[in-house]
Amino acid sequence: MSSTSLTLGRAKLRLPRRQVPVLATLVLLLVMYGIGVSQYRAFSNVQVVFNVFIDNGFLLVVAVGMTFVILTGGIDLSVGSVVAMTAMVSASLLQQGLPAQVVLVVALLIGPLLGFLMGCAIHFFEIQPFIVTLAGMFFARGMCTFISGSSIPITDGFWTTMSQQRIGDPQGNFVSISVLIAFAVVIVAAWTLAYTRLGRNVYAVGGNPQSALLMGLPVGRTRIAVYTISGLCSAIGGILLSFYTLSGAPLIAVGMELDVIAAVVIGGTVLTGGSGYVFGTVLGVLALGVIQTLITFDGSLNSWWTRIVIGGLLFAFILLQRLVGIRYK
Amino acid sequence: MTDSRPVLTMTGISKSFPGVRALHDVHFRLFPGEVHALMGENGAGKSTLIKVLTGVYDTDGGTVTLGGTEVSFAGPMQATGAGVSTVYQEVNLCTNLSVAENIFIGREPRRLGAVRWGEMRRRARALLSRLDLDLDVSAPLGSYSLAIQQMVAIARAIDVQARVLILDEPTSSLDADEVAQLFRIMRQLRDEGIAILFVTHFLDQVYAIADRITVLRNGQLVGEYPTAELPQLTLVEKMIGKELDILEGIDEQPKRDVAALEKGTPLVAVSDLGRSGAVEPFSLAIHAGEVVGLAGLLGSGRTEVARLLFGADRADRGEIAMDGQPTGLSTPARAIERGIGFCSENRRAEGIVAELSVRENMLLAMQAARGWLRPIPRRRQDELVEKYITALQIRPADPEAPVRNLSGGNQQKVLLARWLITEPRLLILDEPTRGIDIGAKTELQKLVAQLSDGGMAVLFISAELEEVLRLSHKVVVMRDRRMVAHLANDDSLDADRVMQTIASGSHREEVNR
């Protein structure tokens, strides 16, 4: 009993418990890609993969921000509206003739500011994140129509350059600048979560907020920070979307927050917080993108099939997380 | 040690919560290089005093002086920074993070803002080896037992250059070896000049380790005494504020005739019940009026047995019969319906609804048994609640006080009252006396004896063998998630023999099987 009792509590299955959902997503992704390649000859073209990134770069950036929020056990429903609002503000300011640099700075400040305010409301008044960000969602969407009832085209030189610039290899495959920006965001976010105090506090708060408080961690500051980060990511996402569409439209990105949440969850981040990786989110976004591509390649399927498949996957992954969690307990 | 100046002085501390005066004009001093026990019954104000000291609560009055300067911490982090570290009764760490991170989070070694994981793991290993612990520091904390987690919490506390180390009931979930190990570390730290404030309910532990004792009662200071000058009995008297004859009361209970009790159909007969991964199949018979003690080490499967009987976990094999009739106890609702009550050991997570009042908490189970369509008349509610507040001496005696504001022991009593109100036929008590003081403990034991005299069957789970032996008619021993022995509690049975059974896992002493 003497010294052995101290090692009694050792886990038997500690191998990749926390990595299981991420691995599952990776496998899923490879399987879907394999199906695509085996069914359609053109699918093996590298550009298909690049296009997934080009079409979903803004989604990826927003999902990275959402990963921070969900890791603390929160939720941010405002992201889609903030994306749209950022695009609208940019388009509107450019239309009025402001220089691109000024527009960028203003557009990139609005999102984080809204996020900061929502974070403060959540922390100081102890209101459910769901309600606070729902209010933020309505507010930002309302602002879009307030700015303009219809879509505003963007003709600014900087924007068109960013939109059309191709960075490619000699074979003619290319990605857009947005993709590189998205990658940069992913890398900074992954580093922040893994190597900074803020990042580690995010995991601690998600794991057990009471304990985090008693361990002396700045729980309130961390909470406010994640909503601010999510706001910033939404703002960047909005800019990328306006690069992509070269316009600001009041009803763009409606329901995007749900796609984003789905991508984060399929990427293995647990909705109750404390467990997950940015890398998983990348895989989650890719999974969504590949499903879309598959359905486009098929041609005979209605695009709503994307939704149906995502719904099924989401359910399967939440189930998987539960099972892993139960086994762990 | 007394010749030096105190490192910590608390003067005239007062603190009130809505409806509760938790502390009133309390003084406390702590010298470097001493272990100072803070004693008192539940609700005496020990936890509140600690939370005031570490800045979790503001004070309503009084001053705290640390190392000669007056301080007022805004929170635990600031207190830790000033050298006042706390380890709480319930492990307050994040189980999703690694062991190393739990020790260092908030003050990780960093270079250019980046956490140095390698350095952190190395330092964690070094620190843990000082505590004689060999753990995989990159494994999630949740993969270790509660006892190990507690040790990690202590490692976290002593890594800070602590001048004052507060241990708030650190031993309540540790077994004897682990307690010995903890004491070794405490002595080591004391000799290094750290002042240790130690809160526990185990009197033996106080006399084993403490140099000085401060006693609180009802939020007021009773006195400060060197341990050597305060005999155990006097200490208990000071804690509960009255002469102690009730302690002996229980022992004088005649041992009832087990054979007579076990005649007839058992109230609950379990055969071959088991759940893979939780507990091996077991058989057990509990008769009306019988107290069955469930002994065994932490993690030996005691709680798992209780949860199966209550339907909180689903058995994957075996049968339960009540009054000879096979019955499926598949959910707690069914079990409650059949007259089974279950007081969980994990009162905070599985029992008490902190936001609700004492009255509402007490009536939960009864209301559940009646069904939500038949509300209990308010007058009947008040009668019942009044009765049990008096019977169990719940403090404060205010039915409308939020349970959150009650001390741990009083919360336990509320939980017990919840089940007593339903007048169960079988009451399962899982560690009902853990973390509660000697006075309340004795009251509780007396109550169990009374209940069984009245014909209630009780399954009594406790890590304290003396307690099990004092109350039970039959002792069932668990070991490694297996029921290894049924022992009749006759004169030949003593703690040593139960210990031996636990240690050896012998089947030879089985009775009734």
- To probe the interface with A, which of B54, B105, B173 has the most A CB atoms within 10 Å? B105
Q: Is the pLDDT of residue B508 over 80?
A: no
What does the DSSP 8-state code read for residue B494? -
Q: Is the pLDDT of residue B512 over 50?
A: no
**Quick one: pLDDT at residue B106?**
85
Cβ–Cβ < 8 Å for B54, B82? no
Bridge partner list, B20: B17
Cβ–Cβ < 8 Å for A245, A252? yes
Q: Strand, helix or coil at B396?
A: coil
**Quick one: pLDDT at residue A13?**
43
* Percent of the residues in chain A that have a pLDDT greater than 90, as a whole number: 62
Kindly list the residues from chain A whose CB atom is less than 8 angstroms away from the CB atom of residue B91. 211
Nearest by Cα to A66 from A289, A262, A238, A288: A262
Residue A89 contacts B where some CB pair is shorter than 8 Å:
no
**Quick one: pLDDT at residue B2?**
46
Cβ–Cβ < 8 Å for A197, A48? no
CA distance B222 to B35: 19
Cβ–Cβ < 8 Å for B36, B198? yes
Compare all CA atoms of chain B with the CA of A205 and give the residue at the minimum distance: B94
**Interchain proximity A197–B177, CB inside 8 Å:** no
Q: How many residues does chain A have?
A: 329
**Quick one: pLDDT at residue B506?**
46
Nearest by Cα to B238 from B217, B212, B209, B220: B217
Compare all CA atoms of chain B with the CA of A17 and give the residue at the minimum distance: B140
pLDDT (tens digit, 9 = 90+) per residue, A262-276? 999 999 898 888 889
pLDDT (tens digit, 9 = 90+) per residue, B63-81? 999 988 898 888 877 888 8
Q: CB count, 10 Å around CB of A32?
A: 18
B82 and B40 belong to one structural domain: yes
Nearest by CB to A217, which of B106, B113, B114? B106
- To probe the interface with A, which of B93, B94, B115 has the most A CB atoms within 10 Å? B94
Q: Strand, helix or coil at A285?
A: helix
Kindly list the residues from chain B whose CB atom is less than 8 angstroms away from the CB atom of residue A195. 113-115, 117
Residue B104 in any domain: the answer is yes
| Structural tokens at position A259 | 């796609």
What does the DSSP 8-state code read for residue B18? T
**Arithmetic mean of pLDDT, A141-149:** 93
Cβ–Cβ < 8 Å for B81, B49? no
Nearest by Cα to A65 from A264, A208, A274: A264
Q: Is the pLDDT of residue A9 over 70?
A: no
- Start-to-end CA span in chain B (Å): 59
State the nearest Cα–Cα gap between A12 and chain B, in angstroms.
8
Cβ–Cβ < 8 Å for A246, A163? yes
CA distance B25 to B167: 23
Count of structural domains, chain B = 2
B116 and B189 belong to one structural domain: yes
Angle between helices A177-195 and A197-207 (to 10 degrees): 70
B289 and B333 belong to one structural domain: yes
Q: Is the pLDDT of residue A222 over 90?
A: yes
Task: State chain A's mean pLDDT as an integer.
Answer: 88
CA distance A139 to A137: 5
CA distance B420 to B365: 9
DSSP of A203-221: HHHHH-HHHHHHTT--HHH
State the nearest Cα–Cα gap between B76 and chain A, in angstroms.
5
**Interchain proximity B148–A197, CB inside 8 Å:** no
Q: CB count, 10 Å around CB of B226?
A: 12
b/e map of A192-216 (b: 16 or more CB within 10 Å)? bbbbbbbbbbbbbbbbbbebbbbbb
A-B contacts (CB, under 8 Å): 112
pLDDT band at A256 (very low <50, low <70, confident <90, very high): very high
**Quick one: pLDDT at residue B192?**
83
pLDDT band at A8 (very low <50, low <70, confident <90, very high): very low
**Interchain proximity B299–A196, CB inside 8 Å:** no
B129 and B219 belong to one structural domain: yes
Q: Is the pLDDT of residue A237 over 90?
A: yes
Of B247, B268, B299, the residue at which a domain comes to its end is: B247
**Quick one: pLDDT at residue A117?**
97
Residue A191 in any domain: the answer is yes
- To probe the interface with A, which of B96, B156, B502 has the most A CB atoms within 10 Å? B96
Q: Is the pLDDT of residue B247 over 90?
A: no
B238 and B268 belong to one structural domain: no
B225 and B182 belong to one structural domain: yes
Kindly list the residues from chain B whose CB atom is less than 8 angstroms away from the CB atom of residue A220. none
User: Which domain range does residue B183 map to?
Assistant: 8-247
Q: Side chain identity at A17, as an amino acid letter?
A: R
> Which range scores top for mean pLDDT: A14-23, B117-126, B189-198?
B117-126
Residue A286 in any domain: the answer is yes
B222 and B277 belong to one structural domain: no
Nearest by CB to A214, which of B76, B114, B142? B76
Residue B281 in any domain: the answer is yes
pLDDT band at A3 (very low <50, low <70, confident <90, very high): very low
**Interchain proximity A216–B148, CB inside 8 Å:** no
Q: CB count, 10 Å around CB of A39?
A: 11
**Arithmetic mean of pLDDT, B458-472:** 84
Residue A186 in any domain: the answer is yes
Kindly list the residues from chain A whose CB atom is less than 8 angstroms away from the CB atom of residue B148. 6, 9
What does the DSSP 8-state code read for residue B98? B
pLDDT band at A250 (very low <50, low <70, confident <90, very high): very high
Residue B289 in any domain: the answer is yes
Nearest by CB to A14, which of B75, B143, B148? B143
pLDDT (tens digit, 9 = 90+) per residue, A71-121? 999 999 999 999 999 999 999 999 999 999 999 999 999 999 999 999 999
B220 and B280 belong to one structural domain: no
Nearest by CB to A203, which of B56, B96, B132? B96
Residue B384 in any domain: the answer is no
Angle between helices A177-195 and A219-245 (to 10 degrees): 170
CA distance B318 to B307: 14
Nearest by CB to A1, which of B110, B156, B503? B503
Q: How many residues does chain B have?
A: 513
pLDDT higher at B249 or A3: B249
Nearest by CB to B113, which of A196, A213, A274? A196
CA distance B411 to B147: 23
| Structural tokens at position B450 | 């009374």
pLDDT (tens digit, 9 = 90+) per residue, B162-197? 789 999 887 766 777 778 878 888 888 888 888 999
Nearest by Cα to A194 from B114, B141, B455, B334: B114
Residue B386 in any domain: the answer is no
**Interchain proximity B114–A191, CB inside 8 Å:** yes
Residue A150 contacts B where some CB pair is shorter than 8 Å:
no
B209 and B312 belong to one structural domain: no
Kindly list the residues from chain B whose CB atom is less than 8 angstroms away from the CB atom of residue A194. 115
Residue A328 contacts B where some CB pair is shorter than 8 Å:
yes
A38 vs A292, A301, A302, A310, B55, CA distance in Å?
Answer: 17, 18, 21, 21, 64
**Quick one: pLDDT at residue B118?**
93
Compare all CA atoms of chain B with the CA of A11 and give the residue at the minimum distance: B143
**Quick one: pLDDT at residue A15?**
45
Cβ–Cβ < 8 Å for B213, B230? yes
**Quick one: pLDDT at residue B510?**
41
**Quick one: pLDDT at residue B332?**
84
Residue A193 contacts B where some CB pair is shorter than 8 Å:
no
User: Which domain range does residue A46 map to?
Assistant: 17-328
CA distance B194 to B18: 36
* CATH number of the domain residue A208 falls in: 1.10.3470
Residue A39 contacts B where some CB pair is shorter than 8 Å:
no
State the nearest Cα–Cα gap between B92 and chain A, in angstroms.
4
Q: Does an H or E element contain B429, and which?
A: strand B426-430
* CATH number of the domain residue B268 falls in: 3.40.50.300
Q: Is the pLDDT of residue B121 over 50?
A: yes
State the nearest Cα–Cα gap between A311 and chain B, in angstroms.
28
Nearest by Cα to A285 from A31, A2, A61: A61
Nearest by Cα to B44 from B191, B238, B310: B238
**Arithmetic mean of pLDDT, A263-290:** 91
State the nearest Cα–Cα gap between A304 and chain B, in angstroms.
38
**Interchain proximity A211–B148, CB inside 8 Å:** no
| Structural tokens at position A13 | 């299955």
Of B247, B268, B294, the residue at which a domain comes to its end is: B247
**Quick one: pLDDT at residue A4?**
34
**Interchain proximity A197–B92, CB inside 8 Å:** no
Hey, which bits of B172-217 come out as E strands?
195-199, 212-217
Residue B16 in any domain: the answer is yes
Q: From the centroid of its chain, how far is CA B165?
A: 21
Nearest by CB to B114, which of A196, A213, A215? A196
| Structural tokens at position B309 | 């009987």
**Quick one: pLDDT at residue B150?**
79
Residue A7 in any domain: the answer is no
Residue A271 in any domain: the answer is yes
**Interchain proximity B108–A275, CB inside 8 Å:** no
Kindly list the residues from chain A whose CB atom is less than 8 angstroms away from the CB atom of residue B156. 215
Residue A323 contacts B where some CB pair is shorter than 8 Å:
no
B293 vs B50, B306, B431, B452, CA distance in Å?
Answer: 35, 12, 11, 13
Kindly list the residues from chain A whose CB atom is less than 8 angstroms away from the CB atom of residue B108. 197, 200
| Structural tokens at position B172 | 């309540």
Phi, psi of A223 (to 5 degrees): -60, -50
- To probe the interface with B, which of A215, A275, A323 has the most B CB atoms within 10 Å? A215
Torsion of CA A215, A221, A224, A225, to 10 degrees: -100
Q: Strand, helix or coil at A313?
A: helix
Q: Is the pLDDT of residue A198 over 90?
A: yes
B86 and B185 belong to one structural domain: yes
**Arithmetic mean of pLDDT, A1-26:** 55
DSSP of A164-206: H-EEE-TTS-EEEHHHHHHHHHHHHHHHHHHHSHHHHHHHHHH
Cβ–Cβ < 8 Å for B234, B40? no
State the nearest Cα–Cα gap between A175 and chain B, in angstroms.
31
Residue B134 in any domain: the answer is yes
Of B247, B271, B294, the residue at which a domain comes to its end is: B247
Q: Strand, helix or coil at B492?
A: coil
Q: Strand, helix or coil at B199?
A: strand
CA distance A12 to B87: 27
State the nearest Cα–Cα gap between B179 and chain A, in angstroms.
11
Residue B352 in any domain: the answer is no
A275 vs A268, A323, B95, B199, CA distance in Å?
Answer: 8, 15, 11, 34
B262 and B212 belong to one structural domain: no
Compare all CA atoms of chain B with the CA of A71 and give the residue at the minimum distance: B96
Compare all CA atoms of chain A with the CA of B101 and give the residue at the minimum distance: A200
**Interchain proximity A1–B110, CB inside 8 Å:** no
**Interchain proximity B105–A18, CB inside 8 Å:** no
Nearest by Cα to A284 from A312, A258, A264: A264
B323 and B194 belong to one structural domain: no
b/e map of B123-141 (b: 16 or more CB within 10 Å)? bbbebbeebebebbbebbb
| CA-angle at B362, arms to B358 and B365, nearest 5° | 150
**Quick one: pLDDT at residue B260?**
66
Count of structural domains, chain A = 1
> Which range scores top for mean pLDDT: A280-284, B192-196, B332-336, B414-418?
A280-284
Nearest by CB to B177, which of A5, A207, A212? A5
Task: State chain B's mean pLDDT as an integer.
Answer: 82
